């Protein structure tokens, strides 16, 4: 239908519909994305300001007490094997699961499943995230003890919620969660 062939009543209805629809679409496709980008930029600015403040405080502390730098470096060297680097929880979880696979292989444990999840979503303690690990593995008692010893001593702080069930054969299946 052409504009020129429409009667005035139809043209007025189309104009009224366009007048109502155009601002709504402008809001959805223009204003909302702008507000989201502005909010993201504000969040990023707050994060960067916080990081700058921490860095400035660290520099001032290092100037006031140079021995503190040595203590911090020593503590970091001790903790380094327990830390998994990743830009987000998914990457850190993948590194942790890979590490658990290596530990299981060293301890003669058949690792069936290792799943990780953040301790509390979005919570970070000074840039360090805590990940909960749930594993399902099978081994004899000696292998299980070796695995737990390697995992707890090398990279993971505590073990909890461990269940042990006896199978029909000599090996024992252990289901547990490492935290």
Nearest to 159 by CA among 137, 140, 132: 132
What are 178's two structure tokens?
A: 């490492």
Fold type of domain 84-178: Alpha-Beta Plaits (3.30.70)
pTM: 0.42
Residue with more model confidence, 52 or 113 = 52
Q: What is the pLDDT of residues 99-153, one digit of tens each?
A: 888 888 888 888 888 777 776 655 555 566 677 778 788 888 888 888 877 776 6
Q: What does the domain layout of the chain look like in residue ranges?
A: 6-64, 84-178
User: DSSP state, 129?
Assistant: -
Looking at mean pLDDT, say which of 39-43, 138-142, 147-151, 166-170 comes out highest: 39-43
CA-to-CA dists, residue 54 to 46, 57, 80, 89, angstroms: 12, 5, 21, 23
């Amino acid at each position: 239908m052409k504009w020129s062939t429409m009667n005035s009543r139809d043209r007025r209805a189309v104009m009224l519909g366009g007048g109502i629809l155009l601002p709504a679409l402008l809001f959805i496709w223009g204003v909302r994305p702008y507000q989201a980008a502005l909010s993201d930029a504000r969040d990023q600015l707050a994060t960067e300001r916080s990081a700058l403040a921490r860095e400035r405080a660290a520099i001032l502390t290092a100037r006031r007490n140079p021995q503190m730098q040595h203590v911090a470096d020593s503590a970091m060297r001790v903790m380094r094997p327990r830390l998994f680097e990743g830009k987000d929880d998914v990457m850190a979880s993948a590194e942790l699961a890979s590490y658990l696979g290596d530990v299981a292989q060293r301890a003669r444990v058949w690792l069936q499943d290792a799943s990780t999840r953040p301790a509390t979503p979005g919570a970070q303690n000074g840039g360090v995230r805590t990940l909960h690990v749930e594993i399902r593995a099978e081994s004899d008692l000696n292998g299980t003890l070796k695995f737990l010893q390697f995992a707890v001593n090398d990279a993971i702080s505590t073990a909890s919620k461990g269940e042990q069930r006896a199978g029909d054969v000599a090996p024992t299946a252990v289901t547990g969660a490492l935290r």
